[in-house]
A and B are shown apart, each in its own frame.
Chain A
Amino acid sequence: MQGRGRAVCMGTDIDTDVVIAGRYLRTKDHSIWVAHVFEDLDPSLASRLNGTVIVAGKNFGCGSSREQAAIAIREAGVIAVIAPSFGRIFFRNAINIGLPLIECDITCSEGIPVTFDLTSGWVETGGMKYPSRPLSVRMQEILAAGGLVNYWRTHG
C-alpha cells in the first residue's frame, strides 16, 4: 500500500483531547468532528488537512480511547500519520477505521511531499528515504480490508 501527501508537522505527545475535544464527542455526526479536529492546537488546521500526511513527534494519539479522534483525522482527508510512536489505543483505533499509521522517525518540513510504502516499509521526504517499522500481520490484514468492520464482514 503506497501513498503520498503534503507534510503537516506536529509536536510530541499530541493527545486525543487535542485531536477532538470532549465537548464535541456526543453526536454521531462525523462532520462535527471534522470541523473541530485539532481546534485546540490550531483552529485553522481542519480546513487545511485534505491530502496531507501528518508528521508528528513521539506518542501521537496518547490519552483517551475516543475513536472519534481517528475518524476525524481520516475524514478531514489525512492520508496517513507518521510518528516515531503512537498511543496504543489510538494505534489500534486508526488501523481499525482504515487510517494508515507509520512508525518512523523523520525530519518534517511543512508542506513538502511525503511518500510512503506500507508494504515494503519506507518513507521518503526531502530527498531522504527512511525505513519504517512494519505493521503486524493482523494489522496489515485489517488495513487491507479497509478497517475492522469490513474485515469482519468478510472474515466472520
Chain B
Amino acid sequence: MSTLSERILRGMAGEYVDRKVDHAYVHDGTGVLTLEAWKNMGARGISDTAHLHVFFDHIVPANNSTTATLQHELRDFACRSFFRFSDIGGGICHQLMSEGVVLPNEIVIGADSHSCTLGAFGAFATGVGATDMAAIWMTGETWFRVPESTGIHLAGNLVGAAEAKDLALSYVSKLGMDGASYQALEFVGEGAATIPMDDRLTLCNLAVETGAKAGMFYADEMTLHYLAAAGYAAQVQEPEPCSYKQELDFDLSDIVPVIAVPPRVDTVKPVSDLAGLPVDQVFVGTCTNGRYSDLARFARIVKGRKVVVRTIVVPASRVVLQKAINTGVLMDLVEAGCSIGTPGCGPCLGSHMGVISDGEVCLSTANRNFRNRMGVGGEIYLSSVSTAAASALEGEITEPEVS
C-alpha cells in the first residue's frame, strides 16, 4: 500500500533512489547556469532518454544587452542540440508542459521551484537547480529521496466567490511555509474529483510554498478527458490505502476569499479583513493564475466597466492568448483598461517589467509575496482572480461578488 510518490518513484518513503527522468526543462533564467555547469562537467554529451525542453518565459522579450546576450547563447545551444525549444511569446514553462506534454506516472523535473505544478496530472514533478539539471542533461537521470506525504482530504464543493486559489492559500496558511518540508502533498477525497484541471494546476503550484517537493492529484476521469483532448490515452490511478505523515481536511464549502499578506505566503486573512486597503497595481497571470479560465473570469467581472488602477494581464501561454482573442475575452480586458503583456512570467519576479515603486502595493494572482520581490520597498498581496478583478475596479482591496 503506497502513496502516489512511492508508486511513481518505486521506493518507500525515506529511501534514496536513482531514476530516469521522462521530461526535464529549464527556462531562460535557470538555463544559462545549467549550460555553464554542463560545459564544466566536461560536456560529454546529452541524454537520449529524457525529453529535454528549453522555454523562454522569465524575461521576454529581452530587456537589455546583457539579457539578450545570455538568451542568444542559450537559444543557439538549444536549437543546435535539438532540445524542444519555445522562444519568447510561447509562454510559461509549467503551462506549456501542461498543454498536452506531461502524462500520469511520469517523472518530470524542471529547473524552477514551481515545477510541482505538473503533479496535477498524477506525475511526480519537482524542481531542482541548475547543476542538478546539468547532470540530468548528461545522464538522463537523477537521485531522489522518496518523500513522506501529507494527505489533503477535500470534501464538498467550492461555493460563492471562493476559488481554488483561495483553497491553495488556505492550505499554505494551515501548513505554514515549512509545514510539508521535504514531503509531497496528495490532494484526495471526493471533493478532489470535482476540481477542474486548471484549478488542480493552481493547487499543485503552491505546494512548494509549504516546503513540499511535490503536489499531486491522482489521475481520474477529469484528467483522462483533458489528456484525450490533447490526443493522449492514459489510465486512471486508483488511490490505495496508505500512510500519511500528516493529514488535513477541508470542506470546500467552508473556503472563503482570502489574501496572503506580505511578506509571507502563509500569512493569510479573509479579504473582508483587508477591504478598503488602497492598491496601486493589479497583476493577473503567472503559472498560478494565468490560464484561459482565469482570464475569462477576470474579463467577466470587468467587462463593460473600467479598472481604476493600472492593471497588467499576462496570459500564461500563446494558446491561452489565442483562445482569449478568439472568444472576445481579450477585447473585454483591453476595453476595461488592462495592459496586456507577452505570454510569460510577467512582473512576478520583478526583474524587467511591471516593477512597483517604494511604498506601492500590488495585488497579484501569483504565488510569492516575498520582501522586495516586485520592486524595492513595494508590497505584494496575493489573491484569487475574482478578488483581483473586484479590486481593480475599485482601486482598493474589495471582496468579490458571488457570480
- The segment from B40-48, B96-104, B280-288 that touches chain A is B40-48
Given A40-B372, A89-B128, A152 contacting B178 (CB threshold 8 A): no
Check if A15 sits within 8 Å of B44, measured CB to CB: no
- List CB contacts (< 8 Å) of A20-69 with chain B: 21-23, 25-28, 40, 58-59, 62-68
State the Cβ distance, A36 to closest chain B Cβ, in Å.
Answer: 11
Interchain CB contact (< 8 A) of A97 among B67, B111, B131: B131
Interface centre among A15, A88, A93 (most CB of B within 10 A): A88
Q: Which B residues fall within an 8 A CB radius of A?
A: 16, 29-30, 32-33, 36-37, 40-42, 44, 59, 66-67, 70, 111-113, 127-132, 134-135, 138, 143, 145, 177-178, 181-182, 208, 211, 213, 264, 349-351, 368, 370-373, 376
State the Cβ distance, B179 to closest chain A Cβ, in Å.
Answer: 10
State the Cβ distance, A71 to closest chain B Cβ, in Å.
Answer: 8
Check if B30 sits within 8 Å of A148, measured CB to CB: no
- List CB contacts (< 8 Å) of A97-156 with chain B: 97, 136-138, 147-149, 152-153, 156
State the Cβ distance, A64 to closest chain B Cβ, in Å.
Answer: 5
- With the chains together, A28 CA to B129 CA distance in Å? 15
Interchain CB contact (< 8 A) of B131 among A17, A93, A156: A93
Check if A13 sits within 8 Å of B177, measured CB to CB: yes
Check if A65 sits within 8 Å of B41, measured CB to CB: no
Check if A153 sits within 8 Å of B351, measured CB to CB: no
B115 and chain A: residue at smallest CB distance: A65
Given A23-B350, A138-B16, A138-B143, A62 contacting B211 (CB threshold 8 A): yes
Check if B371 sits within 8 Å of A65, measured CB to CB: no
- With the chains together, A27 CA to B111 CA distance in Å? 17
Q: Across the interface, which residues of B come within 8 angstroms of A67, CB to CB?
A: 30, 33, 129-131
Given A15-B370, A40-B371, A149-B37, A88 contacting B182 (CB threshold 8 A): yes
Given A65-B30, A152-B42, A26 contacting B66 (CB threshold 8 A): yes
Q: Which A residues fall within an 8 A CB radius of B?
A: 13, 15, 17-18, 21-23, 25-28, 40, 58-59, 62-68, 70, 85, 87-90, 92-93, 96-97, 136-138, 147-149, 152-153, 156
Q: Across the interface, which residues of B come within 8 angstroms of A27, CB to CB?
A: 66, 70
Q: Across the interface, which residues of A come within 8 angstroms of B138, CB to CB?
A: 152, 156
Q: Across the interface, which residues of A come within 8 angstroms of B127, CB to CB?
A: 65, 89
- With the chains together, A23 CA to B130 CA distance in Å? 18
State the Cβ distance, A23 to closest chain B Cβ, in Å.
Answer: 6
Given A26-B66, A65-B129, A13 contacting B264 (CB threshold 8 A): yes
B213 and chain A: residue at smallest CB distance: A88
State the Cβ distance, A35 to closest chain B Cβ, in Å.
Answer: 16
Check if A28 sits within 8 Å of B70, measured CB to CB: yes
Q: Across the interface, which residues of A come within 8 angstroms of B372, CB to CB?
A: 17-18, 21, 40
Given A148-B135, A152-B138, A156-B44, A93 contacting B67 (CB threshold 8 A): no
| Sample of 5 further A-B pairs with CB below 8 A, known A17-B372, A65-B113 | A21-B373, A23-B351, A26-B66, A28-B36, A63-B370
Q: Across the interface, which residues of B come within 8 angstroms of A93, CB to CB?
A: 128-132
Interchain CB contact (< 8 A) of A136 among B145, B371, B376: B145
State the Cβ distance, B30 to closest chain A Cβ, in Å.
Answer: 6
- With the chains together, A79 CA to B403 CA distance in Å? 56
Q: Across the interface, which residues of A come within 8 angstroms of B182, CB to CB?
A: 85, 88
